[in-house]
Amino acid sequence: MEQTNRHHQAHRRIRGGRIATAALVAGGLSASFLAAGIAGASTGTSIVISTAKNAKLGTILVSGNTLYTLKASKTPCTTQCLTVWPAVLLPKGVTSAMAGKGVSAAKLGTVKRSGGTLQVTYSGKPLYWFSGDKAMGQVNGNVTDTWGKWSSIVTAKSAQSGSGSTPTTSPSSGGASF
């Protein structure tokens, strides 16, 4: 009888361990998919920067999700900031981003970050994603926070965003032009 009880207890521990392992694997896969969603458009060997239409702002810069620039405050964008605002980094060994639909390759560049990684720039300004954007074209990151003012990059204004031929940055539109 005692041997049977020990066998059942051991079986429950193994089954419980399998359930915990399955939960960890599923959680890890979810995190991988989330990171891939934030990471944006990648060919596996580079990052592709292109444009998409946003009904309110016009044509905006994207790489999977909307891209942003930062007008920095006195608080530097370091580790905590980069969890909310991931930098658009090139894969190791890649030296430039690819210009996709609607983007001039001449406006793309890079800046070296600490650790030697290359961050993609557009018109000389470093590019970031916003962790609160879950789909291409969302512009939830047009905000001012501890690290400064974040603006989506509007390459062509929509008729709804106001009149005039020169796109500008304003608190009401949240867009920046380049």
pLDDT digits (tens, 9 = 90+) for 35-56: 333 344 555 678 999 999 999 9
The total domain count for the chain is: 2
Q: Which residues contact 132 (CB under 8 A, 6 or more apart)?
A: 84, 138, 140, 141
Q: How confident is the model at residue 114 (pLDDT cuts 50, 70, 90)?
A: confident
Task: Please tell me whether residues 35 and 98 are part of one structural domain.
Answer: no
Task: Please tell me whether residues 74 and 132 are part of one structural domain.
Answer: yes
Task: Please tell me whether residues 15 and 103 are part of one structural domain.
Answer: no
CA dist 133 → 34, 63, 67, 161, 162 (Å): 11, 12, 10, 20, 24
Task: Please tell me whether residues 80 and 102 are part of one structural domain.
Answer: yes
Q: What are phi and psi of 16, to 5 degrees?
A: -65, -40
Mean pLDDT of 96-104: 96
Task: Please tell me whether residues 112 and 152 are part of one structural domain.
Answer: yes
Burial class (CB in 10 A: 0-12, 13-18, 19+), 91: middle
Instruction: Identify the CA nearest to 142 among candidates 79, 54, 63.
Output: 54
Task: Please tell me whether residues 3 and 88 are part of one structural domain.
Answer: no
Q: What are phi and psi of 74, to 5 degrees?
A: -80, -15
Task: Please tell me whether residues 54 and 102 are part of one structural domain.
Answer: yes
pTM above 0.85, yes or no: no
Mean pLDDT of 4-25: 44
Task: Please tell me whether residues 111 and 55 are part of one structural domain.
Answer: yes
Task: Please tell me whether residues 131 and 170 are part of one structural domain.
Answer: yes
Task: Please tell me whether residues 48 and 7 are part of one structural domain.
Answer: no
Domain extent at residue 7: 1-39
pLDDT digits (tens, 9 = 90+) for 125-140: 999 999 999 987 899 9
Range list of H helices, 117-158:
none
Task: Please tell me the distance from the alpha carbon of residue 95 to that of residue 93, in angstroms, as a whole number.
Answer: 6
Task: Please tell me whether residues 6 and 91 are part of one structural domain.
Answer: no
Task: Please tell me whether residues 96 and 26 are part of one structural domain.
Answer: no
